[in-house]
């Protein structure tokens, strides 16, 4: 379970945790959330969004957004095609931190990305270690899933309300049958 051990390594510093969702998706944007957790008020049940049911994520989303400082960064599928998914993810990370109403001293990032900004510290498996990163993973996941549900209303044949744009069999079958939508990432090698 994630906890505050990483955050407590930086006493008297404002710590933000960030995580992304949608990096491996075939369609839609990459979404990053930055969260500054109130270390005196830990919301119970926060863990990596992939380990939670949709209902649990939505309940925690409400609690996290009510109790913590948070912000979103989104980079579109068009920009992903222009600058590549790694650069787009890093850009969304920076946008999310810049959108925070409080400027963090330290930014804990899930994964192994490298940033020029020395405040950014990459933590492999961070969403299982840091409560801040885990909270960010929940907000990013719910935000992106909701976006994909909206896109699914326009293009229901791709079943994005179920697969969130990832390369599931049903999604690949739909691509084979209908071709690519305007929301698909053209730079990704999509084999149906």
Q: How far apart are CA 13 and CA 104, in angstroms?
A: 8
Local confidence band at 191 (pLDDT 50, 70, 90 cut-offs): low
pLDDT of residue 163: 96
For 4, 63, 159, the CA distances from 192, given in Å and listed in that order, are: 43, 40, 15
Q: What's the predicted TM-score (pTM) here?
A: 0.95
Cross-strand pairs, 31: 21, 74
Local confidence band at 70 (pLDDT 50, 70, 90 cut-offs): very high
48: Cβ–Cβ under 8 A, 6 or more apart, which residues? 2, 127, 128, 134, 137
Q: Return the closest-CA partner of residue 22 out of 118, 120, 88.
A: 88
Q: Where are the domains of the chain?
A: 5-178
For range 61-69, the mean pLDDT: 98
Query: What are the structure tokens assigned to 78, written together?
Result: 């068009």
Please, what is the average pLDDT of the chain? 96
pLDDT by residue (tens digit) across 77-133? 999 999 999 999 999 999 999 999 999 999 999 999 999 999 999 999 999 999 999
pLDDT of residue 188: 84
Q: How far apart are CA 32 and CA 106, in angstroms?
A: 16
Q: How far apart are CA 138 and CA 135, in angstroms?
A: 5
pLDDT of residue 72: 98
pLDDT of residue 164: 96
For range 144-168, the mean pLDDT: 96
For range 161-170, the mean pLDDT: 95
Query: Is 5-178 CATH 3.40.50.720?
Result: no
């Amino acid at each position: 379970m994630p906890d505050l051990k990483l955050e407590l390594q930086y006493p008297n510093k404002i710590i933000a945790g960030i995580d992304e969702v949608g990096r491996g998706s075939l369609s839609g944007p990459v979404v990053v959330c930055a969260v500054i957790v109130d270390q005196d008020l830990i919301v119970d049940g926060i863990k990596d969004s992939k380990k939670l049911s949709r209902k649990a994520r939505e309940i925690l989303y409400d609690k996290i957004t009510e109790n913590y400082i948070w912000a979103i960064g989104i980079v579109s599928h068009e920009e992903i095609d222009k600058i590549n998914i790694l650069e787009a993810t890093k850009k969304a990370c920076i946008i999310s931190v810049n959108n925070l109403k409080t400027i963090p001293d330290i930014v804990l990032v899930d994964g192994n990305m490298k940033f020029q900004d020395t405040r950014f510290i990459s933590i492999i498996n961070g969403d299982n270690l840091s409560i801040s990163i885990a909270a960010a993973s929940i907000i990013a996941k719910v935000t992106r899933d909701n976006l994909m549900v909206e896109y699914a209303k326009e293009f229901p044949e791709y079943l994005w309300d179920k697969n969130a744009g990832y390369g599931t069999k049903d999604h690949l079958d739909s691509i084979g049958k209908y071709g690519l939508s305007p929301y698909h990432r053209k730079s990704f090698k999509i084999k149906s």
